Amino acid sequence: MGKFVITQRVNNEYQFNMKAGNGEIILTSEGYVQKASCQKGIESVKVNSQEDSRYDRREAVNNKDYFVLKARNGEIIGKSPLYSTKSGMENGITSVKNNAANAEIIDETLKN
């Protein structure tokens, strides 16, 4: 089962990584100043990940494929890792779709 992991960056911004059942990161968020905004970002992924039109398939300057997931307003919610093939990228999108709705949320910022 997939999960969202909330962490805090060195600049104190919050972010989440969405991990597939095998533990691989399949989506990383932007940085958020407020934890509540980060949590809203996760809820946005759960909703928007189910619509294929929300995925923007892209190619990086090194010719690796990746995708971004956008909210209804067009803002980027998260970005995938780089993939060596288009089929790998499509598998990543499928994994986000399959895992997001029921993924548990783990807040690592609560650890001492």
Q: What percent of the chain shows pLDDT beyond 90?
A: 96
pTM of the model: 0.93
| pLDDT greater than 80 at residue 111 | no
pLDDT band for position 110 (50/70/90)? confident
Q: Please report the DSSP string for 53-108 in residue order.
A: GGEEEEE-TTS-EEEEEE-TTS-EEEEPPPBSSHHHHHHHHHHHHHHHTT-EEEEG
Domain 3-110 CATH (choose: 3.30.1600.10, 2.60.40.1660, 3.40.50.720, 2.30.29.80): 2.30.29.80
Q: What is the mean pLDDT of residues 73-82?
A: 96
- The pLDDT tens digits for 1-27 are 899 999 999 999 999 999 999 999 999
CA dihedral defined by 97, 75, 89, 7, rounded to 10 degrees?
Answer: -80
Residue ranges covered by each domain of the chain: 3-110
Contact call for residues 32 and 15 (beta carbons, < 8 A): yes
